[in-house]
Chains A and B, each alone.
Chain A
C-alpha cells in the first residue's frame, strides 16, 4: 500500500471509534464473532445460487427464482459484514496497513461487491431450468472472488 495512505490509517486507529473498540477486552472478539456469523449467512446466500448456476445442486428450480429469494439475505449479510468489518479495521488500522493479507482482501472486496451487484445479478436471473455455460462461468467467478476475500480476511490474523 502506498505510504501516502498511512496518515489515513493512523487517523482511523486514533479515532474515537477505533479507540473505543481497542480499549475494550470484549468488544473486538464479540464483533469478530458477529462478523463470522454474517460470513456464514453471506456464504450460504452466495453459494446456494452459485452451486445452482454451476448445475451442481438444486437443479429442479430455476436460477432466477433462487437468486431473487437469496438476494435479500445476501445484501443484509453484506451490510453486517461491512459494519463489523469497519469496526474491526478501525481498532487496528495501522496493523492492517502493514499486513499483506489485508491489502489482498481490501483490493478484492470492491470487485466481489461490484461483480455480485452488476454482473452476477444480471446474468443469473433467467427463469429457465437449463444451466448454460455463461451461468457456470459467472458462478465460478463469484466463488473465486468471494473465496479470495474470505481467505485473505482469515489470513490477516496469521500474517504480520
Chain B
C-alpha cells in the first residue's frame, strides 16, 4: 500500500472525519498544540541562548540540561500527541502540503542535532559547564537548534495557508514535484478537497 493510499484510507475513517469536522475538539487540539510551544520551544530556546553564551551565563549549562529539560521533554510529548491528532484529522491534505513536508524535514534536522549533542558534544560537558563562551561544537548545536525549531514553527504556521494546495488549484511544476501532487485528471481522493 502506498502512503497516498494509506492516508486516503486514514482520512476516511469515521474518527478522522469526526475530528476534522468537529466544532470545538479540533480548535481545542490546535490551541493546545500552539500554546505548548511557549513551554517546549521557549525552554529549548533558553538552553540554546545559554549554549551560545549570549544569555544566562551565570548559570552552569547542566543546570538547564538537568533541571529544565524534563519540562522540555514533557512539553514535546504534548506537541507530538496533539500534532499526530491534527495530522490524523486531515492526513492527505498534510501529506500533499509543501509546508508540512518542509516541517517534517526540519523536524528531522532538529532531531539529529539533539542526538549529536547528547551523544557526542555533551560527553565532555564537565570541562566547559561554566565556561563562557562554550566550545564551538556547542555553539553550532545551539544555532542549528534555533534555526531548525524556528523553521518548524514558521512552516507549521504556514501549513494553514493553501497557496500551494494541489488538491485545490493547479500548481507550478516545482510544487507538483515537492508535494507529490496527483497527476491532473487522476481521480481525486474523496473527503479532502476544500479542507479549511
- Name A's B-contacting residues (CB within 8 A): 25, 29, 32-33, 36-37, 39-48, 51, 57-61, 65-66, 69-70, 72-73, 147, 150-151, 154-155, 158
Contact = CB atoms under 8 A, between A and B. Distances in A.
A50 B145 CA distance: 24
A69 B56 contact: yes
A43 B68 contact: no
B interface, size bucket: 20 to 34
B45 to A, nearest CB: 5
Given A43-B39, A57-B67, A158-B27, A33 B59 contact: no
Contacts of A158: 27, 30-31
Interface in B148-177: 149-150, 153-154, 157-158, 160-161, 163
A47 B39 contact: yes
B35 to A, nearest CB: 6
B67 A48 contact: no
Given A45-B46, A65-B58, A51 B71 contact: yes
Contacts of B150: 37
B102 interface: no
A152 B162 CA distance: 24
B34 interface: yes
A22 B67 CA distance: 44
Interface of B: 27, 30-31, 34-35, 37-46, 49, 55-56, 58-59, 63, 67-68, 70-71, 149-150, 153-154, 157-158, 160-161, 163
Contact of A45 (B37, B42, B163): B42
Given A43-B42, A69-B56, 19 more contacts: A33-B157, A36-B157, A40-B37, A40-B41, A40-B149, A41-B45, A42-B42, A43-B38, A44-B39, A44-B41, A44-B44, A46-B38, A47-B38, A47-B42, A48-B68, A57-B70, A69-B55, A151-B31, A155-B27
Given A29-B158, A41-B42, A51-B71, A36 B56 contact: no
B153 A37 contact: yes
Given A36-B157, A47-B38, A154-B35, A58 B63 contact: yes
Contact of A33 (B46, B149, B153): B153
B37 A36 contact: yes
9 contacts: A33-B153, A33-B158, A36-B153, A37-B150, A40-B38, A42-B42, A43-B39, A43-B42, A69-B58
A74 B42 CA distance: 11
Contacts of B149: 40
A50 to B, nearest CB: 10
Contacts of A155: 27, 31
B35 A150 contact: yes
Contact of B42 (A44, A147, A154): A44
